[in-house]
Amino acid sequence: MKTNRVGILTDSTASIPHYLAAELQIEIVPCQVIRGAENLRDGIDVKPQPFAEYLASLKSDAKLPTTSFPSPGEYVEGFMKLAEHTREIVALTITSKGSGAYQSCMTAAEMVRAEISDMNIQVVDTLQVAMAHGWAVIEAGRLAAKHGTLAQVTERAQDVARKAILIQTADTLRYLYMGGRIGHAQHLVGSLLDIKPLIGMVNGEISALATARSRPRAYARMVQLARERIANARHVHLAFTHCGAEGQIEILRDFYFRELNCIEEMTTPLSPALAVHSGPGTVGICFFAE
């Protein structure tokens, strides 16, 4: 099998479409979803749509599942798979400010370097989540497929991670709050039930961006925020994300086709490890502009 000169590794929270991960030979290390006595591998033992339906069926006082990031040993396993074909790897992790994945990956990289003396591993803290993280992985994989050097692939990953923007809305922030991932959006928890919060990532942490009083208004506000952030850019890469709300994505897509000129667009569900913290009905956009 033909392989890339530089291997690409990431964790499952990047929520990358499976066909792209396979096409670009991206090694994905699963996070864990802990549901009662079950310890489920994100994207392997538990899939997005059934898990979204499960979350939607829970009563308001039910205990939510929890999540854990990959252990150093699990990252080592991923690195060693790539090491069968390459001695140069770029690993990209979910934001270090909301997860221990980055430190776990760094520990694993040191372990692999100690075992394989000529192994060169660069670990990138994307300071992002979902497809804002995923875009950096995809673009790194695309450059690796064109036989970019380790330095070039690392720089591309860092550049896209810096540029990428996430804007997301849901009916409630209960899931973020219960999971301890509320970040700087804490003050919105007590908002009126009719308020639709819009959140994003600022310096690696979840932050409140705006509020709206209905989903249509929230979607219109998301478009406005996106336009403000990309100005007159015409090379926009856009991913729609959701948790059990693909029908809502069709509505959101109409807004963007009217307002933005995207050169690439895709839809992908949030991985269960993220869905735990966002909740069913969540919809969002993750994009970057060249």
Q: Delimit the domains of the chain by residue range.
A: 7-31+69-163, 165-289
Query: Which pLDDT score is estimated for 120?
Result: 97
The full DSSP string for the chain is: ----SSEEEEEGGG---HHHHHHTTEEEE--EEEETTEEEEBTTTB-HHHHHHHHHHS-TTSPPPEEEPPPHHHHHHHHHHHHTT-SEEEEEES-TTS-SHHHHHHHHHHHHHHHSTT-EEEEEE----HHHHHHHHHHHHHHHHTT--HHHHHHHHHHHHHH-EEEEE-S-SHHHHHTT--TBTGGGTTS-TT-EEEEEEETTEEEEEEEESSHHHHHHHHHHHHHHHHTT---EEEEEEESS-HHHHHHHHHHHHHH--EEEEEEEEPPHHHHHHH-TT-EEEEEEE-
Query: Which pLDDT score is estimated for 192?
Result: 45
- Tally of CB atoms within 10 A around 245: 24
Architecture in CATH for domain 7-31+69-163: 3-Layer(aba) Sandwich (3.40)
Query: Which pLDDT score is estimated for 177?
Result: 57
Query: Which pLDDT score is estimated for 173?
Result: 61
Query: Which pLDDT score is estimated for 4?
Result: 58
Query: Which pLDDT score is estimated for 132?
Result: 98
Query: Which pLDDT score is estimated for 184?
Result: 41
pLDDT 10s per residue in the chain (290 long)? 445 589 999 999 999 999 999 999 999 999 999 999 999 999 999 999 999 999 989 887 788 899 999 999 999 999 999 999 999 999 999 999 988 999 999 999 999 999 999 999 999 999 999 999 999 999 999 999 999 999 999 999 999 999 999 999 987 666 655 544 444 444 444 444 557 889 899 999 988 898 888 888 999 999 899 989 887 777 899 999 999 999 999 888 887 877 777 889 999 999 999 999 888 999 999 999 98
Query: Which pLDDT score is estimated for 207?
Result: 87
- Which of 262, 256, 258, 264 lies closest to 283, judged by CA? 256
Please tell me the CATH code under which domain 165-289 is placed.
3.30.1180.10
